Amino acid sequence: MSLVTQYLSSLVASFSSDDEGQGLAEYALILALIAIVAIVALIFLGGAISGILSNVGKSI
């Protein structure tokens, strides 16, 4: 096996042996996924949101 495969298999084994760490890792993955989705949404919708807020600011 290659070094990367050995490292990944040992990493997976360490997560599966610790139930509390496994729950923490799952929450961390969910949090990372939410952060990635939020960043992508801001990248694609940032200009539109900025325009809307600018129009609201001008009307006040």
Kindly report the pTM of this predicted structure.
Answer: 0.49
Residue 3 has pLDDT above 80, yes or no: no
Of 26, 2, 5, 4, which Cα lies nearest the Cα of 15? 26
The total of structural domains in the chain comes to 1
Cα 49–36–28 angle (5° rounding)?
Answer: 135
Chain CA centroid to CA 54, Å: 29
Indicate the residue type of 60. Answer: I
Residue found by looking up tokens 């360490």 in the block: 14
Segment 17-29, tens digit of pLDDT = 555 667 788 888 9
Which residue range is the domain that position 12 belongs to?
3-59
